[in-house]
Chain A
Amino acid sequence: SQELEQSPQSLIVQEGKNLTINCTSSKTLYGLYWYKQKYGEGLIFLMMLQKGGEEKSHEKITAKLDEKKQQSSLHITASQPSHAGIYLCGATPRGSNYKLTFGKGTLLTVNP
């Protein structure tokens, strides 16, 4: 089965600082998803990456998938308290678009 390793496990930053969260896979990634979860709530879809070298941005959040398709990063520019939460990367294996396996998540705290 596909295993996803996220780093760091937790992160505390000052408002306005940039930060990066990494997601590394033991196998080639065919579909890589980034979600955000507020404590005790459901997951909110952020972005999906499929192609090696692909990069997508939404507002101040940028996600990249490396050329070898085994590592993805999520970068937040000029962080705000509203960015606080748990960021989860998820992946689907080749041949299945339904079985989404998640990493353990990165807890982000943004101090005002």
Chain B
Amino acid sequence: DAMVIQNPRYQVTQFGKPVTLSCSQTLNHNVMYWYQQKSSQAPKLLFHYYDKDFNNEADTPDNFQSRRPNTSFCFLDIRSPGLGDAAMYLCATSKEQGLSYEQYFGPGTRLTVT
């Protein structure tokens, strides 16, 4: 089945130690997104790729970076994780098609910072 896959599902990192979260998709969608969702809060968009074009949200901290080496893969790099970066990180994809931009979400990676 076509889907959005996130690895790992659970990630523990130390304060200040760089960490990379991975997302892959078999949907062949041209847009990929990264969201941060803290406990009991709404998902918050960090950035998205439209094809190879990177679009950063204005309030996304510089500590967060992303790479999209090809259509299928997208990575979220956190350069120096702080305790406040502990959250669920959700990857999503969408295909530009008419007026519908339905986003398909992966299961998320829960990041713990110790």
Interface string of B1-31 (1 = CB under 8 A from A): 0001010000000000000000000000001
Contact of A98 among B50, B105, B107 (CB under 8 A): B50
Chain A residues within 8 Å of B, Cβ to Cβ: 31, 33, 35, 40-45, 48, 50, 88, 92, 97-105
Q: Return the chain A residue nearest B100 by Cβ.
A: A48
Are A100 and B42 within 8 A (Cβ)?
Answer: no
Whether, in the assembled complex, B102 has its beta carbon less than 8 Å from a beta carbon of chain A, the answer is: yes
Supply 6 A–B pairs (Cβ within 8 Å), ascending by A.
Answer: A44-B105, A45-B103, A48-B102, A88-B42, A98-B101, A99-B57
Query: A41, A42, A48, A50: which has the most chain B beta carbons within 10 Å?
Result: A42
Q: Return the chain A residue nearest B31 by Cβ.
A: A98
Contact of B104 among A41, A45, A100 (CB under 8 A): A45
Q: Return the chain B residue nearest A89 by Cβ.
A: B42
> With A98-B50, A103-B42, A104-B42 in contact, is A41–B102 under 8 Å at CB?
no
| Total contacting residues, chain B, CB less than 8 A | 30
A-B contact count (CB 8 A): 58
Residues from chain A with Cβ under 8 Å of B43 in the complex: 43, 88, 102
Residues from chain A with Cβ under 8 Å of B88 in the complex: 40
State in angstroms the CA–CA spacing of A41 and B3 once bound together.
14
Chain B residues within 8 Å of A, Cβ to Cβ: 4, 6, 31, 33, 40-45, 48, 50, 55, 57, 88, 90, 92, 94, 96, 99-108, 110
Min CB–CB distance A4 → chain B (angstroms): 8
State in angstroms the CA–CA spacing of A40 and B88 once bound together.
8
State in angstroms the CA–CA spacing of A102 and B41 once bound together.
9
Q: Return the chain B residue nearest A4 by Cβ.
A: B42
4 closest residue pairs by CB, A with B: A102-B42, A42-B105, A97-B101, A43-B105
Residues from chain A with Cβ under 8 Å of B42 in the complex: 88, 101-105
Min CB–CB distance B56 → chain A (angstroms): 12
Are A33 and B48 within 8 A (Cβ)?
Answer: no
